[in-house]
Amino acid sequence: MSNKLPLNQDKLQKAVEKGIISQDQAIQLWQYLDSEKHYTSQFLPSSLLYYLGGILALSSMAIFVDNKWELLLGWPLFFICCSLFLVSLLLINFLIKKKSMVPASVMITFTLAVTPIIIYDLQFILNLLPPTHINYAKTYYLANIYWLPSEFITLATSVYMFYRYKIGFILFLIAGICWYLGMDIYQLLLHINNFDFNNRAWFSLIWGIAGLIVSIRLDYNADYKLARKLFWINLFMASIFWLSLNLIEWGYSSRIIIFHIAINLLMLVCAITLQRRVFAILGTAGIVWQINNFNLSTTSFSIILAISGIIIIMLGIKWSTIEEIFIVKYNKYMPKRFRSNN
């Protein structure tokens, strides 16, 4: 399957020497690629600092709403959070102008974390909360109709930010907000007032399946530009599906284990077809997880696993010799971005 080939100045110069492109075209192409690289994610030492700073900022808000909530609830908290929101927006715009997408994404996450606190506090000021006061930290695991305004406004804010900034990572945040909002609506409709982990895991499983069907369909017909953004939706949906699948209490019968392995094998097929590593990582981890649940003797099972591993490696070697023939033959069934024009 077609992959993006690494390109550097040496390869461009060789293309010039072979007469494929002119020297001027090579220079212009390299300048364009050099400018575009600022928009791609690279894990550099500075990226580590961005992530660490973002985690500390988000952690500070979590500690703040848990320990200082009652002390500052009302106008003081409203002004503090609004100030943080505005400063975050200024930083986001500054970072995007500098083409620093990683720290901009971190600040967008922080901004969206502050948004529901502002709305919840404003509801308190306007006496729009339930008579029995509930600490904001409890809204994360207790469903209540009073939380819906903050969730809907946070969702609207995230959609606006994606429309304005066009950063793919925001789709990951939107997917998370939709899942959280959907879970609250589901619990309200069924009048579930307590925290039930298994119940939420089942909802997440169904949500993940529905989301994967939609995202895989979109990914299949997407070009490279759209596929880069859809990666984030695939990442969230695949993660929520896989986690809920493995955290639900299914029992450990052989049929259930084999069923789980089959699902994880299907994820590996999706990884190959769509060229998504997240499916490969989760599918492989799921297979190892389920194999560990088999109640077999250590010696015989180890031998079976070793032989199976060798067979799979041999199949991989064989596949590498026929892959191009297979792609040419079934080109029309490949995702849109991988199809050749012939």
Q: Give the integer Cα–Cα distance in Å for 232 and 171.
A: 6
> Distance of CA 141 to CAs 184, 204, 289, Å?
9, 14, 28
Residues 95 and 52 in one domain: yes
| Location of structure tokens 């199949």 | 315
pLDDT digits (tens, 9 = 90+) for 238-282: 999 999 988 887 776 777 888 888 898 888 888 888 878 888 888
Residue ending a domain, among 272, 291, 310, is 291
- Domain annotation covers residue 17: no
Residue finishing a domain among 185, 209, 243: 185
Task: Determine the structural domain holding residue 180 and report its residue range.
Answer: 45-185
| 30 or 267, higher pLDDT | 267
In a domain, 103, yes or no: yes
Q: Is the pLDDT of residue 307 over 50?
A: yes
Q: Within 10 A of 237 (CB to CB), how many other CB atoms are there?
A: 24
Assess whether 151 and 247 both reside in one domain: no
Asked whether residue 155 falls in the same domain as residue 69, the answer is yes
CB neighbour list of residue 54: distance below 8 Å, 6 or more residues apart: 103, 106, 107, 109, 110
| pLDDT for 303 | 73
Helix runs in 221-294, H state only: 224-247, 254-274, 277-291
Q: What is the pLDDT of residues 133-170, one digit of tens each?
A: 666 666 677 777 888 999 999 999 999 999 999 898 99
Looking at the structure, tell me whether residues 55 and 143 fall in a common domain.
Answer: yes
The token duo for 273 is: 């077809």
Specify whether 302 is located in the same domain as 250: no
Number of domain units in the chain? 3
The predicted structure's pLDDT at residue 38: 46
Q: Looking at the structure, do residues 72 and 137 belong to the same domain, yes or no?
A: yes
CA–CA dist 55, 293 (Å, integer):
35
Same domain, 252 and 200: yes
Q: pLDDT grade, residue 102 (50/70/90)?
A: confident
Average pLDDT, rounded, for the chain = 79
Q: Are residues 100 and 177 in the same domain?
A: yes
Q: Please list, residue by residue across 51-90, b when 16 or more beta carbons sit within 10 angstroms of its beta carbon and e when fewer do.
A: eeebeebeeeeeebbeeebeebbeeebbebbeebbeebee
